Amino acid sequence: MNIVKVKNYDEMSNKACQVLVDRMNKVNNPVLGLATGSTPEGLYKELIKTSRKGDVSFKHTTTFNLDEYIGLSKSNANSYHYYMKNHLFQYIDVNMDNVHVPKGDVLDIKKECQEYEKSIRSHGNIDLQILGLGANGHIGFNEPGTSFNSRTHIVDLAESTRQANARFFDSYNDVPEQAITMGIETILESKEIIVLVSGNKKAEALSRLVNGKISEDFPASVLKEHIHVTVIADEAALSAM
Ligand SMILES: N[C@@H]1[C@@H](O)[C@H](O)[C@@H](COP(=O)(O)O)O[C@@H]1O
């Protein structure tokens, strides 16, 4: 696991954008794995700026998002479908037919999980996956205790995750109790992974990721088994090392 140390959130976002654009320009039809949450918002702003300058195009890019809340429709402002449209997709030249976010509002979620897996595989897997880090070590919505062999599946969200994400909702009770997420094995099949970590709130989690042992109790620890992972972390996130 390679660690790139940067000063602050803006530098992290800039660096991530540079890496992503570099990789996109090296592959003919790049397949990107995208994340939500506060952490990648700066990266998406940088990507929009870069694409406006003409330095990157998403015309031949396919995207797969990590996760979605169960029960929220695409038009719900707290859904990850909405987030992605609002923070990235509406501002770039991506073909929306090539955009994939797991559907959390279908009747048969299990079938949706299987189809999502099939779709990722049919695109030859993800070239570059962007990840944030949950304070409890979750990646996507894979909470502590999730099997390292998991594929796209339904999860019960940990109380701490619902508390952490309650800031986006009117109240804690409005945060869905379940989500659909790419599994850990699915994530590990990405050819390259970039983990973005910023701020004091993530310092303990980052220290555990770097210094702790590999265990299903801390899902992100599995990333140490992958051959091409780069963590881009700012000074505040690195403060507990
Ligand atoms: N499901 C998302 C994750 O994909 C995200 O990486 C993580 C950190 O979120 P944030 O970047 O807001 O701290 O938690 C959320 O619950």
Q: How far is the CA of 140 from the centre of ligand 1 (A)?
A: 7
Q: How far is the CA of 39 from the centre of ligand 1 (A)?
A: 7
Q: Give residue-wise pLDDT tens across range 180-200.
A: 999 999 999 999 999 999 999
Cα angle: 59, vertex 72, 132; to 5 degrees:
60
Q: Compute the distance between CA of residue 180 and CA of residue 115 in angstroms, rounded to an integer.
A: 12
Average pLDDT for runs of 10 along the chain of length 241: 98 98 96 98 98 97 98 97 98 98 97 98 98 97 98 96 96 97 98 98 98 98 98 98 92
Q: What is the pLDDT of residue 10?
A: 98
Q: What is the pLDDT of residue 134?
A: 96
Query: What is the number of other CB atoms lying within 10 angstroms of the CB of residue 228?
Result: 12
Q: What is the pLDDT of residue 125?
A: 97
Unique residue bearing structure tokens 């990648």: 40
Q: Which residue is closest in CA terms to ligand 1's atom 15?
A: 37
Q: Which residue is closest in CA terms to ligand 1's atom 6?
A: 132
In short, whether 56's Cβ falls inside 6 Å of ligand 1 is no
Q: What is the pLDDT of residue 149?
A: 98
Is 98 annotated as catalytic?
no
Contacts of 227 (CB under 8 A, 6+ apart): none
In short, whether 132's Cβ falls inside 6 Å of ligand 1 is yes
In short, whether 39's Cβ falls inside 6 Å of ligand 1 is yes
Indicate which atom in ligand 1 lies nearest the CA of residue 37. 12
Q: What is the pLDDT of residue 131?
A: 98
**Computed from CA positions of residues 207, 84, 61, 219, in that sequence, does the dihedral angle turn out positive or negative?**
positive
For 186-221, the three-class secondary structure string (H helix, E strand, C coil) is HHHCCCEEEEEECCHHHHHHHHHHHHCCCCCCCHHH
Q: How far is the CA of 181 from the centre of ligand 1 (A)?
A: 12
Q: Which residue is closest in CA terms to ligand 1's atom 3?
A: 140
Q: What is the pLDDT of residue 31?
A: 98
Give rounded-to-5 percent helix, strand, coil for the chain.
Answer: 40, 20, 45
- Parse the chain into domains and list their residue ranges: 2-234
Select the CATH number that applies to the domain covering 2-234 from these four: 3.40.640.10, 2.40.420.20, 3.20.20.140, 3.40.50.1360.
3.40.50.1360
Query: What is the number of other CB atoms lying within 10 angstroms of the CB of residue 19?
Result: 18
Indicate which atom in ligand 1 lies nearest the CA of residue 181. 1
For 41-72, the three-class secondary structure string (H helix, E strand, C coil) is HHHHHHHHHHHHCCCCCCCCCEEEECEEECCC
Q: How far is the CA of 16 from the centre of ligand 1 (A)?
A: 16
Cβ–Cβ under 8 Å, residues 161 and 205: no
Is 143 annotated as catalytic?
yes
Q: Give residue-wise pLDDT tens across range 25-71.
A: 999 999 999 999 999 999 999 999 999 999 999 999 999 999 999 99
In short, whether 136's Cβ falls inside 6 Å of ligand 1 is no
In short, whether 141's Cβ falls inside 6 Å of ligand 1 is yes
Strand order across the beta sheet in which 153-156 lies: 67-69, 178-181, 153-156
CA distances from 69 to 77, 86, 118 (A): 12, 17, 20
> Is pTM, for the whole model, over 0.90?
yes
Q: What is the pLDDT of residue 83?
A: 98
For residue 216 the two structure tokens come to 């299903």
Q: What is the pLDDT of residue 116?
A: 98
In short, whether 130's Cβ falls inside 6 Å of ligand 1 is no
Q: What is the pLDDT of residue 33?
A: 98
Write the DSSP symbol of residue 4.
E
Q: What is the pLDDT of residue 234?
A: 98
Q: What is the ipTM of this complex?
A: 0.96
Cβ–Cβ under 8 Å, residues 65 and 152: no
